[in-house]
Every structure is written in structure tokens, then in C-alpha cells.
Chains A and B, each alone.
Chain A
Amino acid sequence: MGTRIGADVGGTFTDIVIEMADGSFESTKVLTTHEGPEQGILEGISLVAAEHNVSMSDVEQIIHGTTLATNALIERRGAHTALVTTEGFRDVIETRTEGRFEQYDLNIVLPTPLIERKDRYVVPERINARGEVLIPFDEAAARAVIDQIADRGYEAVAVGFIHSYRNADHERRFRDLLVERLPDVGVSISSEVSPQMREFERFNTVCANAYVQPLMASYLLRLKAELKARGATCPLYLIHSGGGLVSVETAAAFPVRLIESGPAGGAIFAADLAARYGRKSVLSYDMGGTTAKIAIIEDYTPQTAKTFEVARTTRFKKGSGMPISIPVIEMIEIGAGGGSIASVDALGQIRIGPHSAGSEPGPAAYDLGGTEPTVTDANVELGRLHPSTFGAKDITLSPERAAAAIRSAVGEPLGMDDHLAAIGIAEVVDENMTNAARVHAVENGKDLHGFSMVAFGGGAPLHATRLMDKLGLDELFVPPGAGVGSAIGFLRAPFAYEAVKSFYTRTDQFDFVAVNQVLADLAIEAETFVRQGTDAELVVERQVSMRYKGQGWEIPVRLEAGAFDEFAADALAAVFTKAYEEFFGRAIDDLAIEAVSWSVRVASVQVQPQTLELIEPGKTISTTVRRPMFDPVSGTDVDAGVMHRDDMAPGDVTYGPGVIVESQTTTVLASHHQAVMQTDGTLLITRTKLIPQTNRDDA
């Protein structure tokens, strides 16, 4: 494989990673240029290319992920967009679920719909749940709506009709009429963007796509042109929220699929490590400046979902954002990052986040004007971060500022000294992340027992050993390049596309002919997108979401290859029953089973990474550089060693308590941890003894 580049444009930093022909990595971080994000990418690429003598013409592939679409939704910087929908359903995206996401707030403000009521138009037409026409498409009324769209100068149009996932004729007809009359207006139809049942989610998804499409299409074209101008002759691909690669053309048509592509890269990064070390059950833990993200990876594949929520307006609370129904790598995100601010609530409880000091003013310890205590400040107070080994350029940590901030906002209100208050902050944030991981596991029907953890992102290695202990996990991997994990993950992603469609049927009246047709159509759709990027051998995975009749939540069931016949229903019911038992512990007898949504994922076959064997601990490395650090295992301050990661060779082992420092992060070892350097530069951390458990019989 030749030289390849991964570019991850985040809210604060743009990360560039170059994979050299020999498989080694070089990386850089530059500030994201919000005016024109391509400038940051180009600058970063020039920087790292020049430093390592890489010529643009030698680059074989550039893979890009970006938060641009997400930010456009959050900041409402999209196109002037109209929604056209079925008469009678003008307000679906405004009335939402009719619920309040926060039960105990009289002054709750619900998210404003992406497209206001005055920009929502209706056309008489109606299709029923079986796809049959109840009211024919009113062409004259449609033309009248198009006149209004022309008059009012909309830049983009979203079309969402009821049950269009079942029968797309009317949506297509409207699009044809619109394109004929207004060829320059972008149009997205829900049956193409997201043919899934549930109108609120589907309409919102098509609105989001139409809304960001002009912006994203022009950005991608600019980027492509600029790269070419700089001598890059290679193709540019985009990573999507499901963790696969798509062509620029697909990305420009369905930009809603680019949402959450950065975090998807992180999960792929962790999945790649899981594959290298043959770990079938892995918890991916990514912690940055404002949030922590946790994902489950099984059989080297991140878990996926068919719908998620972006742009949450209130404390990352479920229901306070916009639902988007597209395949996505599933993860839980909570307001727990290095910059998350600690406070004391009315109950005298320490609370962390969701407010973050961000990079400006940053944690108090950065001495850049921040006065509120953050998680980073607690890490400074506890000796885990230290001015002499903090990697960030241009920042000199101030332990005094950290202590003062902790004292005024937490210590004094609770009558604790600085140190104890810092312990409280660290413990609460660790507990929050632990609880999030547990809840996420329960939501996915998993028991974390026997899982290994992979920690990356600037903040995760500081907290990962504590999480590992709290979750009762036995192994923690801290790979190299933790600060640019997502961008490295981009380079490990296959070409992949998942096509999803709702089609309702029941095992007691199974319509196998129709199901075969749905699956065949989905396979063609997915393969067409993948073929735009690769000629490689392809692998096909098929899934259906099912539930007992009467339930509201479906669980995913993987389908064997091959077409269904008249005997398929029983087999399918058996597979569901087994999956249900795994999820919830017990199955239920004698109930009909409903199938709701079908999906086909087509992906290029990946070259399996070379498997690595763990190295036995060899030479023990110790250090004379020591400093006091709080050790949560003994509950006291201990004399901790300070190792440099670069000083450790494969096989070297070091014992806690201590820290292992590198430019982008610090790995903390408590007194019962050991770290062994592996051949690929990954640190493997385990416990030297069991977590002390009280034996209740002795008590």
C-alpha cells in the first residue's frame, strides 16, 4: 500500500495523519478554519508532507471525515429550505413526539424545527401502510406549490410524504416536476435519503439532508479542486456515520450521512486494534475536551444503529435534539471531557459538566483566563498532570490556578480541602462515564464481563485505568496515536454502504416474496454506491429488526445468506427468539413476531490486519523521576514514577503507581496496575492483583 492521508476536521482541531508506504504514521494537528475548512486541511497536509518529504503526487488516497454537516445543523447555517409534505401532516417536524424530554422543568424550550411552518407546504396525496394509493397525487396542486417555491427563492427542497418508504411514486413525481421547472434547486426525497417507517424521524432526516446539501456539495467540490491544484492526483473519499467510505459524489448527494463521521473513525480505530489482538469483545472509550464517547465492538465490528440524535440542546438529554434515521455506529456520548466544569448543586453533590471550558478560556490550570474548575484541573491537583510533562505547546500548567478554582467552586462549599475536592471531581466524572458505559451495555443487551477496553483521545488514558477497575474489566489497551485516533481509523475503514428500508410483516403471515424483493433492491442500492469507490471483492451482511407483537422496540437480527421460501418464517422466528434471550434474558412463548426494517450492508473485503501476540513482560523499567500522585486504590497520595512512552521498548514493563507521558496524552497507572509495551507501540495494562473485594462472610 502506498502513502495515504486521513483528515479529520473537528470543532476545534483538524487532525492530519499520513500513513507511509511502510505502514508507519506521521500526524499533525492544526486549528480548524471555520470560514473554509478546506484551508485547515490543506495547511495540515502541506505541513506534515513537507516535514516528511512526501510529494502530493505520491499520495494514493485521501480519506476525509468532517463535523461540518453536524455544525451546520447545530448552528443553523444551512440553506433556505422548503419542506413539501402530505396534506394533513404539515407539522410533523414541529409537534415531534408531543413529549417533554425534561419532566421537571416548567420553562422547558423544545427544539425549533429545522424548517419553520411558513416554509412547509402540503400537497393532496395519500398512500396507505401497504403502499396502495388512497388519494392520487394532485399534480395541479403540486405545480402551484412549485410556483411558490420559485417565487420565494428557496435554495433547497425536502420532500417527505406519508408511507413513502413503502411506495415512493408520489415523492419521485414531485421531484420530477420540481427539477423540470427549477433545475438549480437542490431536492432531497425521503424515500431515497431514509426509507424508514416513522414520519417524524424520516421527515427530519430528509430536511436535514436538504438543509446542509448545498453547503456540503460546494465545500466538497472546493476541496477536491484545491487538492488537485496542489498536485494530488489521487481520489478523495469521505467517511460516513456508519463507518464506511463513500465517493465525493455520494457524499454530496447524501451529506446527512456524514454526520458523526469523526467519532465513527474512532470506533474503527478501536475495532482495528481489537482485530489485531484478537479481542472479540471490546469497549471503545474516547475522551476529548468536552465529551466522552463509548462504543461497543464485537467480532471486530462496531455496533450500529438505524437512528440517532444530533444537536441536542439540553445537557445531552435524549429527546432534546434532532432524530436522524440513517445507519450509524452506535455510541453513547456524555458531557465528560477534560474541559468539563465541576460545580456543586443544591444537594451538596458534585456535578460535572455538561458545560465545558472548551479551548477558550480552557481549564483554570491553562492560565488563559479560565476560573472554573474542570476535570483537567482535578488531574493537575492530583498529580496526574504536571507542568513539566504536559505535552501541549504554548501552555504552561498552573497548579496554583487549578487549586484556587477547585477551592472556590467545590472545596469551600463542601468544607473540603483542595485535594479532597479534586478527588471528588475525579471520582464523580469517572463514575459518570462508568455509569454511561453500563447503561449503554444494557441498552444493547450486553454484559460487559469479559470485555477489554481500548482508550484513546487526549483525555481517556488519564481515566481509563479507573474505569477499567470500576467496570471490573481485566485488560486495557492504549494504542499509539491516541490523540489522532479518528483520523487513523479513517484509513482502516472499508468501502461500505448500508441501505435500509422499512417493510412490515409478521412471522404468522410472512410475505416472503415481498421480503426477497426488498432485500434484493437494497443489495443493488448498496452495491451501486460501493462500486463508485472500489473494484474490490465485496461482502454482504443482511439484518432485520424484529420484536414481539405488541412491543415498541425492535432488536437487530442477523440474516443468513440466501432467499426466503415458504418455510422461512419458522426459522426466522427461531433466530429472533435466540437473539431476544441474549438481549433480555428470557424469551416469551406463543407470541407472533413482527419484522419492521430490513437492511443490507455491502462492504469491500478488508485485508485482515496482521494478528499480534501479546508479549510477556520482560525487562522492568523504573525511573528516578518521581512525584506525588493520588492513588484511588489505596486512597492516599503515593510516590509515583514518571515514564516517557518513547523510552519503553517492546516487552518493557512498568508498575504503578505512575504515569506514562507522551506529547498528546498521559496514561495513569494506579498502584495495582502494570503496563507492558507491545510490538506495535500499544500499552497493555492489567492489574497485578485482583481488586480487593470484601468477603462478606468474614465481615
Chain B
Amino acid sequence: MTAARTTSEVHFQIMWNRLVSVLEEQALTLVRTAFSTSVREAGDLSAGVFDRQGRMVAQAVTGTPGHVNTMAAAVPHFINDIGPERIYEGDVYLTNDPWKGTGHLHDITVTTPIFVNGEVIGFFACTAHVVDIGGRGYGPDAREIYEEGFRIPIMKWIEQGRLNSDLVNLIRNNVREEDQVLGDIHGLAACNETGRRRLLEMLGEFDMTDLDELADFIFDRTSKATMSALAPVQKGVYRNEMEVDGYNETITLAVELTVADDGMHADFTGTSPTSSYGINVPIVYAQAYFTYGMLVALAPELPNNYASLLPFTVSAPAGVILNGEDPDPVSVRHVIGHFVTDLCLGAIAQALPDIVPAEGAGALWNFQASARGADPTEMLPPVELLMFNSGGTGARPSLDGLTATAFPSGVMTMSAEATEQIGPIVIWRKEIRENSGGAGKYRGGLGQVIEIGPADGYQFEFSAMFDRVDNPARGRAGGENGAPGKVYLDDGSPFATKGKQTIPADRRLIMELPGGGGFGDPAERDPEATANDKAQGYVT
């Protein structure tokens, strides 16, 4: 190895670090300024830098896996749809197309070309969930994408430094909370601009004029590491099926996972057909949660980039729920999409029995309601409320599951006090749900019990979307199932787990969130752990 070659090795390592740091800064700024609850509490955003072919070189590590390779696949669409000959210095592009972006209209992806000496050397892209996108509002009730909101094909937000004021005007007239939405789009564009300037500084510091060599270095290193992480996995075909509640009928999710020398492929044949509600999943989103599951099990230290994502491919027949296509409604694609991780982990568990946990609660139990005055004559202003809540995760092969913790989503919950400051709501109870973790040598994570009611003369219009009520999280290796979820009103009257309903002014909604499955034979549980469960009241 020559001196020059090895010095450049150190340089490349430094630049790789620097790139990730630049992206972290961008992501952080987005989180701080975002109006969307899911961005700031869940890190529902992404920021990445791409080479001139649109291959992702590096990405910020953010809260949710959902954007991981959805955004990674987006930039080639931008290059193609804008047309290489129409890409100018000072341009900024955007889209919210679910199939070219990140899976639903609420996510806006903004892409900015980077020019050096008049030539495109790469792109910055970032994505964030916005507060509103028009249409029916956020929820599963649309029957076609057209009802779900304003759809922006890949187009120019800024051309050669000039803002596209027609597009601004269109957005302003098609969404609720237009100041917040436009504020977030400007924020995304500013983010790319900061990244672009920092990248140019870095290139100057290291005496480079493009990203090509650095990208090759990163892809080469990542590819080798990914392959060596996959190498120990027994080659073969692994299958799994899982039933979840779905919107109005049980949904079967099926996967056939093929482990080959050069990667892993998930085929979703056998999965239930698409739904007439907005819970369909664009396949790129299913791919994101499949890839997340495999990386978290096999190669947790690997960065997300073109080379680490390349070996993970998916396919599905047309018309299944994990391959929602235009114009299927896809607004709340995360509800089913989040189960893809457990589905695929369940398949690979046959090859990795000491790594894969039992099934968990999976889907979030979000409380998303519109508070409306109970008495229309009082003219109380409507208030939108949103809380993220998580059940228990599956027990691990050598550890208990996590209590009231999101997986695979990276969501965090909001403070009850802060939520009550913002809207007419009282959270009467938010506590661990005893006895809800599946028994096992290692116990499933416990769910939680939440009791919520309207305050100050309001009632709630509530669009329920609760899963794992009919289909609990299954235990693994002899572990028992987690407790299924339950929903009802405090006077004992039933509450449907799906669909629009009203919570009257004087009632409280009680949600008992599902627990995670157990791992291993309960008889083998360490007696000390059993005693501690009793002492703490986790098991009564």
C-alpha cells in the first residue's frame, strides 16, 4: 500500500464521518422546526446525500425505519422525471407521490442538485411528514388516492433560484394549516441548502471536485461488510404467515424469504388482497420494513446507503395489500406496514433462532381525534389531537420484551401534561397493563392501559385503528402469546376497534394495549425473575 493510497484511506474515513455529521445536523434542524407531531416526536423524517447517478451515499440515522430505503429510491425518479438536461444550478425539486416518494401523500420529499464547476456531482434529499395535505384529512377512510389529498408530481419548487409561486399558491389553497405546511417545505429546502454548502466546504478542504471516489470507497466498504454479515445465514427458503386484524376483515400477511449468496429476497405472494381503505402499503414501504428487520437482526452497525440496501429485494403480485398501487388509498400505510418487520423476522427466525425475538404489539395505538364542541351553539373551535402509544415488544432470546415501547417504529410518546395543555382532553390513566406480557423463559413486554376523556364541553370524533385485538402477538420457542388489546367506554359500552365513532362529553375511552409474546418455555424462567415480576406487580 503506497503512502498516498493510505493517507487517502484516512481522508475517506474522515469525509465519511463528516458526511454523516452534516446529515445529522440537517435532521436535527428539521426536528426542531417541524410542525408535524410525527416528525418531532418520532423522527418521521430523513436526510441523505446521493451521488450523480442518484445512489444514496449516506443518510442521517433518524427515528423511523420507514424512510430508510423509500427515500433512497426516490432520487433516481427525480433525475428521470425532471430530465438531466433540465437540471440547473439553483434548482430545488419536490414531490409527495406515494410511489416515487415515501409511501403516502403526507410525506414531502425535497431534492436539490449539487453543482461543481457547472456540473452535477450529486444531490441532497430530505423528507418529512407534513401536518396536512388536504383531502379528507389523515386517516384510513378514503377509497382512492384522489380523496387523500393534494398530489404533487415531481416538479420544480425553485428553478435557478426563482421560487415557483404558482405551486406555492396551489399548495396554499389545497391544504389546511397552510402556513405550517409551507413552513415545513421551506424548512426542507433550507436543509438541503445547508447540506450543499457544507459539502462544498468539505470538498474544498480535501481538494476534491466530486463525490465519485468517496462514494466508491463507501460502497465498497459497506458492500463487503454487508456480505460478511449475511454470509453466516443458512442459504435457503423460509416462509412465515401472520394474521392481523386489518380494517374490517382479518388480513393474512405471507412471506417467502429466499437467502441467496448475494442477498435476501422477500416475496409476499399469499398475502391478502388490497383493502378498500387507506391501509394499503406501497411495496417500497414494505421493503423498508423488511430491510430494517434484516439489518437490525444481522448487521445493526451498518450504515444505510445504496450498498447496504442493495442486497434486500422484494416482490409481490399485483393486488395484494403489501403492493398497493395507484390509485389505491395508502394514507395510513404504516398500520400494516409495521407488521412486515415481525413477519419477515418470523421467517428468518428458523435460520437465526438465537437472535429473533417473539412477536410484539407491532402497530401503534395512536389516539387521533378531532375535538368538537358537544353543544354546537357554543361555537367552540375544533382542536386536533394526536398521541402515540405503544404496547409491549416481543421477548428476546435472552431478555424480556420491552414494556410499552415502540417496535419497529421509532416513535416516542408525548407528555400527558403537554397534551392536556394543547387540547380539551384529560388523560386519566396511562399505566403499565399488568399480566399482559406473554409468559416464557423470557417474558413479553407489557402493554399499557390508557383512559382518556374530553374536557371543557367537548366531545371527540374518533377514527379507531387498533390492531392485535383479534390476533395477539405470538410467542416463540414455547413462549406464550401476549395479551390481545381491548377497547371500550368507561360505562362498559363497547367501542369498535375500527372506524369513525364519537366519544361523548361525559364518557371516557379505555384502551388496553397488547403485550408482546414470550420466548421459551415458561417453566424455565429464572425463579428470581418470576419473584420480581410478582413483587413489582407485573404479574399478579
Using CB atoms and an 8 Å cutoff, list the residues of chain A in contact with chain B.
Answer: 87-92, 94-95, 97-100, 103-110, 116-118, 126, 128-129, 134, 162-163, 197-200, 345-350, 414-416, 420, 423-424, 427-428, 431-432, 435, 438-439, 442-443, 504, 548, 550-553, 584-586, 588-591, 635, 691, 693-694, 696-697, 699
Q: How many contacts between A and B, using CB within 8 angstroms? A: 217
Contact partner of A99 (CB less than 8 A), chosen from B187, B399, B411, B455, is: B411
19 additional A-B pairs beyond A438-B25, A551-B34, beta carbons within 8 Å, are A91-B430, A94-B432, A95-B448, A98-B390, A98-B413, A103-B61, A107-B396, A110-B405, A198-B418, A347-B301, A423-B7, A424-B9, A438-B21, A552-B40, A553-B32, A586-B190, A591-B179, A591-B183, A694-B207
- Alpha-carbon distance A95/B303, docked complex (angstroms): 29
- For residue B168, give the distance in angstroms from its CB to the closest CB of chain A: 13
Nearest CB on B from A160, distance (A): 11
Asked if A504 meets B432 with Cβ closer than 8 Å, knowing A117-B536, A117-B537, A439-B21, the reply is no
The 5 listed contacts between A and B (C-beta, < 8 Å) are A94-B432, A99-B405, A420-B10, A442-B28, A696-B204
Residues of A within 8 A of B24 (CB): 439
B65, B405, B455: the one contacting A128 at CB < 8 Å is B455
CA A411 – CA B85 in complex, angstroms?
A: 47
CA distance in complex: A500, B25 (Å): 29
Q: A431 touches which one: B14, B402, B429 (CB < 8 A)?
A: B14
Question: What is the distance, in angstroms, from A201's C-beta to the closest C-beta of chain B?
Answer: 8
Interface string of B414-438 (1 = CB under 8 A from A): 0111101100001111111000000
On whether the beta carbons of A696 and B209 are closer than 8 Å, the reply is yes
How far apart are A640's CB and chain B's nearest CB, in angstroms?
A: 20
Structural contact, A98 and B388, CB atoms closer than 8 A = yes
**Quick one: closest A residue to B537, CB to CB?**
A117
* 133-176 of chain B: CB within 8 A of chain A: none
* A88 to B490 CA separation, bound complex (whole angstroms): 15
* Residues from chain B with Cβ under 8 Å of A345 in the complex: 301
Residues of B at the A interface (CB closer than 8 Å) are 1, 3, 6-7, 9-10, 13-14, 16-18, 21, 24-25, 28-29, 31-35, 37, 40-41, 61, 63, 65, 116-117, 131, 177, 179-180, 183, 186-187, 190, 204-205, 207, 209, 221-222, 224-225, 228-229, 295-297, 299-303, 355-357, 388-390, 396, 398-399, 402-407, 410-413, 415-418, 420-421, 426-432, 448, 451, 455, 535-538
With contacts A414-B9, A693-B204 taken as known, whether A117 is within 8 angstroms of B390 at the C-beta atoms is no
Chain B residue contacts of A427, Cβ below 8 A: 10, 13-14
* Residues A89 and B416 in contact, CB atoms below 8 Å apart: yes
Partner of B355 from A90, A106, A432, A691 at Cβ < 8 Å: A106
From B9, B32, B40, B222, residue with most partner A Cβ within 10 Å: B32
Contact between A95 and B17 (Cβ–Cβ < 8 Å)? Answer: no
- With A106-B300, A550-B131, A585-B190 given, is the CB distance from A439 to B417 under 8 Å? no
User: Are the C-beta atoms of B183 and A588 separated by less than 8 Å?
Assistant: yes
Q: Closest residue to A591 on the B side, CB-wise?
A: B179
Q: Which residues of B contact A691 (CB under 8 A)?
A: 205
In this complex, the member of A199, A423, A442 whose beta carbon has the largest number of chain B beta carbons within 10 angstroms is A442
CB neighbours (8 Å) of B413 from chain A are 95, 97-99
Residues on the A chain within 8 Å of B388, using CB? 98
A88 x B451 contact (CB < 8 A): yes
Specify which of A91, A103, A431, A550 is in contact with B177 (CB 8 Å cutoff): A550
- Bound together, the chains give a CA A414 to CA B429 distance in angstroms of 55
Check A198 against B190 for contact (C-beta < 8 Å).
no
Q: How far is the CB of B524 from chain A (nearest CB, A)?
A: 19
Contacting residue for A442 out of B25, B117, B221, CB 8 A: B25
Contact assessment for A347 and B410 in the assembled complex, using a CB-CB cutoff below 8 Å = no
Given contacts A88-B430, A91-B431, A105-B296, contact A199 B209 (CB under 8 A): no
> CA of A584 to CA of B33 in the docked complex: distance in angstroms?
8
Complex CA–CA separation, A97 to B538 (angstroms): 19
B381 to A: closest C-beta gap in Å: 11
A163 neighbours in B (Cβ, 8 Å): 417, 420
Instruction: Report yes or no: A104 in contact with B9, Cβ–Cβ below 8 A.
Output: no
Q: How far in angstroms is the closest Cβ of chain A from B479?
A: 15
Do A100 and B1 have beta carbons less than 8 Å apart?
Answer: no
Docked Cα-Cα span, A585 to B186, in Å, equals 10
Q: What CA separation (Å) do A591 and B180 show in the bound complex?
A: 8
Task: Give Cα distance in the complex from A200 to B417, angstroms.
Answer: 10
A117 lies within 8 A of B415 (CB): no
The 6 A-B pairs with the shortest beta carbon distances in the complex, nearest first, are A88-B429, A99-B412, A435-B21, A552-B40, A104-B300, A97-B412
Report the minimum CB–CB distance from B336 to chain A (whole Å): 20
Residues of A contacting B10 in the complex (Cβ-Cβ under 8 angstroms): 420, 423-424, 427
Q: In angstroms, how far is the closest chain B Cβ from the Cβ of A202?
A: 8
Among B17, B396, B405, B451, point to the contact of A100 (Cβ < 8 A).
B405
- Assess whether B7 is in contact with A635, with CB atoms less than 8 Å apart: yes
- The interface residues of chain B lying within 8 Å CB-to-CB of A200 are 415
Complex-state Cα separation, A423 to B8, whole angstroms: 12
The CA of A128 and the CA of B454, in the complex, are separated in Å by 12
Q: How far is the CA of A134 from the CA of B225 in the complex (A)?
A: 58
A553 CA to B41 CA in the complex, in Å? 10
Which single residue of chain A is at the shortest CB-CB distance from B207? Answer: A694
Shortest CB–CB separation between residue A690 and chain B, in angstroms?
A: 12
Neighbouring A residues of B61 by C-beta, 8 Å: 103-104
Query: Is A107 in contact with B399, judged by CB distance below 8 angstroms?
Result: yes
| A residues near B410, Cβ cutoff 8 Å | 99-100, 103
**Are A347 and B404 neighbours in the complex by a CB distance under 8 Å?**
no
CB pair A550 B17 closer than 8 Å = no
CB <8 Å contact, A346 and B229: yes
Are B402 and A100 in contact, with the CB atoms below 8 A? yes
Task: Give CA–CA (A137, B396) in the complex, Å.
Answer: 42
Task: Report which of A97, A105, A129, A552 forms a contact with B300, defined as CB distance below 8 A.
Answer: A105
User: A635 to B404, alpha carbons, bound, how many Å?
Assistant: 52
Closest B residue, CB atoms, query A695: B204
Q: Are B35 and A551 interface neighbours, CB within 8 A?
A: yes
Q: Which residues on the B side are within 8 Å of A92 (C-beta)?
A: 430
Q: Contact at B431–A88, with CB atoms within 8 Å?
A: yes
The reply to whether B17 and A431 contact each other, CB–CB distance below 8 Å, is yes
Distance of B296 from chain A, by nearest CB (Å): 5
B405 contact set on A, CB distance < 8 A: 95, 98-100, 110
Q: How far is the CB of A304 from chain B (nearest CB, A)?
A: 18
The residues of A that contact B177 with a CB separation of less than 8 Å are 550
Chain A residues with CB below 8 A from B416, complex form: 89, 162, 199
Contacting pair A98 B421 (CB below 8 A): no
CB-CB < 8 A to A129: which residues of B? 417, 420-421
Provide the residues of chain B in CB contact with A435, threshold 8 Å: 17-18, 21
A197 and B389 form a contact (CB under 8 A)? no
- The CA-CA distance from A490 to B451 in the complex, in Å, is 49
Q: In angstroms, how far is the closest chain B Cβ from the Cβ of A668?
A: 18
For A88, list chain B residues within 8 Å (CB).
427-431, 451
- B9 CB to closest chain A CB, in angstroms? 7
A403 to chain B, nearest CB (A): 17
| B535 partner residues in chain A, CB cutoff 8 A | 118
**Distance of A347 Cα from B299 Cα, bound (Å):** 11
Q: B418 CB to closest chain A CB, in angstroms?
A: 6
B420 and A128: CB pair below 8 A?
Answer: yes
Q: Are B209 and A431 in contact (CB under 8 A)?
A: no
- On whether A552 and B41 interact (CB within 8 A), knowing A88-B430, A347-B221, A504-B421, the answer reads yes
